[in-house]
Amino acid sequence: MKRCICFVLAALMAISMAACSGTNEPVATNAPTAGNEPVATDAPAASTEAPAEALTGAVSTDGSTSMEKVIGALGESFMLANEGVTFTYNPTGSSAGITAVSEGRCDIGLSSRALKDEEAALGLASTILAYDGIAVIVNPENPVTDLDLETIAAIYTGEITNWSEVGGADGEIVLIGREAGSGTRDGFEELTGTADKCQYRQELTSTGDVIAAVSQNPNAIGYASLASVKDNVKAVSVNGVVPSEETIKDGSYLIQRPFVLVTVEGKELSAAAQAFFDYITSADANEVIISAGVVPAN
Per-residue pLDDT tens digits for 191-250: 999 999 999 999 999 999 999 999 999 999 999 999 889 999 999 999 999 999 889 988
pLDDT for residue 81: 97
The per-residue b/e assignment along 269-279, b for 16 or more CB within 10 angstroms, e otherwise, is beebbebbbeb
Q: Which of 5-9, 40-44, 141-145, 291-295 has the highest mean pLDDT?
A: 141-145
What's the whole-model pTM score? Answer: 0.69
Mean pLDDT value across residues 94-120 = 96
pLDDT for residue 51: 56
CATH number of 133-256: 3.40.190.10
Distance CA 191, CA 203 (A): 18
pLDDT for residue 6: 39
Whether 10 shows a pLDDT value over 90: the answer reads: no
What's the chain's average pLDDT?
Answer: 87
237-238 and 146-147 beta bridge pairing:
parallel
Structure letter (DSSP) for residue 172: B
pLDDT for residue 298: 85
pLDDT for residue 30: 44
Pick the residue with more confidence: 31 or 273? 273
pLDDT for residue 201: 97
Is residue 132 within 8 A of residue 110, CB to CB? The reply is: no
Closest CA to 155 of 140, 137, 134, 182: 137
Question: How do the domains of the chain map onto residue ranges?
Answer: 56-131+258-296, 133-256
Whether 61 shows a pLDDT value over 60: the answer reads: yes
Distance CA 97, CA 182 (A): 10
pLDDT for residue 144: 98
CATH number of 56-131+258-296: 3.40.190.10
Distance CA 24, CA 71 (A): 76
Same fold, 56-131+258-296 and 133-256: yes
Helices (H), 107-238: 117-120, 149-156, 183-192, 207-215
* Partners of residue 109 on adjacent β-strands: 62, 262
